[in-house]
């Protein structure tokens, strides 16, 4: 049996849950006998049956006997009660003979428990098939389940020289339709989208993904002085109940009270480290802890430049999605995608790894993992474009 082939099919099924399963992971499963698929399943959302149970039920609906069959699943079956019963109980009750698993449960309290339970009951268990791909599928969930903080992606669309607006704040769509569609795709897969108040004042964004599928994520506005307008889209549309405005302890009470009539308002403590310019900085670590308590597993940070810098240079970001348009704005005072005070020495520079470049129409997308400041530099740094840049990508949205 080609376990790798079947695990790739299970991964394809798991991805159908994108943007739907949080705070649960995306999981796909197959019930097979020989080279024949008896049933397919994937996790569709919190409180609904897990992928293994879906696959077993699908096989039975098709009139197949599952006793003695093999189960392929991208993540270790759960062995404890949550919103649903343990999947290990369903597997044993079905008489499955062999279970092939991609990634082990990332929760240290449960890792390997389901596998041991199945082995002790006489089930043949194999692990590690496409383990890296299966783990990467749920990197946000894996981080949240261990640290109880969201996995943070910093997203920015900019010119080739890293600018997002003129010195006067004038801006417009920088990237083309396919890049924007990919950005909406990232929103849909996130539990919360965050911007600073300057972005709200300049652009009045909705921060909602496009498409017919309902999205009940949170919109988070960093607004130390409670300057968010009461008629902004994020405070006045039909999803205002899913907007959180994060203010500081010095915000004018009258403005805070006015906002609280329309949206949720949190008062965050100030960061102890103040900027050279004397601006009030909200404590982002406190905010991530609070969001984690609300089961926000993936946070998409969209701007502006000061906000991006706070997460990136503060060591709070895990990945970046940078869109580059074939434009050059120039100007020392033009607004940058990543602003802030910047690194004061080479040791503080932020490094990216696991780079992936994609073409989206005329634009380029760079997706990469962030290494915190202070990590030792690799032996070789290649400042130019990678030799292999993928061709035009399909519209991910």
Please state the residue numbers annotated as binding site for NADP(+).
157, 173, 199, 304-310
DSSP class per residue in 23-85: TSPP-EEEEEETTEEEEEEE--STTSPPHHHHHHHHHHHTT---TT-EEEEEEPPP-S-SSS-
Phi-psi region of 112 (alpha: psi -120 to 50; beta: other; left: phi over 0): left
Distance CA 31, CA 355 (A): 35
Based on the residue annotation, tell me whether 52 is a catalytic residue of this protein: yes
304: tokens are 């502006």
Query: Active-site residue among 9, 52, 280, 380?
Result: 52
Alpha-carbon distance of 355 to 161, in angstroms, equals 19
The structure tokens 């240290």 sit at 108
Quick one: tokens of 233? 């889209």
The structure tokens listed for 337 are: 């995608």
Three-state SS at 393 = coil
Which residues fall in the annotated binding site?
A: 50, 78, 87, 157, 171, 173, 187, 199, 203, 207, 210, 302, 304-310
Give the CA distances from residue 269 to residues 175, 203, 225, 251, in Å, rounded to whole numbers and listed in that order.
Answer: 36, 27, 12, 11
Q: Residue 118 CA to chain centroid, in angstroms?
A: 31
- Give the CA diameter of the chain: 70
Identify any residues that bridge with 356 across adjacent strands, giving them in sequence order. Answer: 367
Please spell the DSSP secondary structure of 376-392, one letter per residue.
Answer: PPPS----S--S----B
Tokens linked to 212: 């017919």
Structure tokens, 142? 């894996």
Angle formed at CA 287 by CA 283 and CA 289, multiple of 5 degrees: 120
What is the 8-class DSSP label of residue 206?
A: -
As given in the structure block, the two tokens for residue 150 are 């969201």
DSSP 186: H
Binding site per annotation, positions for substrate: 171, 187, 203, 207, 210, 302
Show binding-site residues for Zn(2+): 50, 78, 87
| Residue at token pair 């030799």 | 387
**Could you tell me what percentage of the chain is helix, strand and coil, using 3-state DSSP and rounding each to the nearest 5?**
30, 25, 50
Asked, as a colleague might, if the bond just before 36 is cis with ω within 30 of 0, I would say no
Residues marked active site are found at 52
């Amino acid at each position: 049996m080609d376990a790798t082939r079947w695990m790739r099919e299970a991964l394809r099924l798991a991805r159908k849950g994108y943007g739907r399963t949080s705070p649960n992971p995306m999981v796909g499963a197959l019930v097979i006998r020989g080279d024949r698929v008896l049933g397919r399943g994937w996790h569709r959302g919190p409180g609904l049956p897990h992928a293994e149970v879906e696959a077993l039920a699908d096989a039975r609906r098709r009139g197949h006997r599952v006793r003695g069959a093999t189960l392929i699943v991208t993540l270790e079956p759960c062995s404890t009660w949550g919103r649903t019963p343990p999947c290990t109980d369903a597997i044993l009750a079905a008489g499955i003979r062999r279970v092939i698993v991609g990634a082990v449960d990332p929760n240290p309290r449960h890792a390997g428990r389901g596998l041991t339970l199945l082995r002790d009951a006489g089930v043949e268990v194999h692990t590690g098939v496409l383990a890296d791909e299966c783990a990467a599928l749920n990197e946000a969930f894996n981080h949240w389940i261990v640290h109880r903080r969201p996995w943070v992606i910093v997203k920015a669309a900019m010119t080739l020289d890293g600018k997002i607006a003129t010195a006067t704040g004038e801006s417009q769509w920088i990237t083309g339709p396919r890049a924007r569609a990919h950005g909406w795709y990232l929103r849909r897969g996130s539990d919360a989208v965050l911007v600073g108040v300057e972005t709200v004042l300049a652009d009045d964004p909705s921060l909602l993904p496009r498409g017919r599928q309902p999205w009940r994520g949170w919109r988070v506005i960093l607004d130390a002085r409670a300057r968010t307008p009461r008629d902004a889209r994020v405070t006045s549309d039909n999803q205002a109940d899913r907007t959180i405005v994060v203010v500081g302890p010095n915000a004018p009470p009258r403005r805070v009270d006015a906002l609280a009539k329309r949206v949720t308002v949190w008062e965050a403590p100030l960061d102890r480290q103040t900027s050279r310019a004397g601006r009030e900085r909200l404590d982002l670590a406190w905010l991530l802890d609070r969001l984690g308590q609300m089961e926000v597993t993936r946070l998409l940070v969209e701007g502006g430049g000061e906000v991006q810098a706070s997460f990136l240079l503060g060591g709070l970001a895990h990945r970046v999605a940078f869109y580059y348009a074939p434009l050059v704005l120039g100007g020392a005072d033009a607004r940058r995608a990543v602003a802030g005070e910047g690194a004061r020495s080479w040791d503080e520079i932020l490094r990216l790894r696991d780079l992936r470049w994609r073409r989206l129409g005329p634009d380029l997308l760079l997706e990469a993992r962030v290494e915190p400041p202070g990590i030792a530099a690799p032996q070789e740094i290649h400042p130019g474009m990678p030799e292999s840049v993928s061709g035009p990508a399909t519209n991910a949205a």
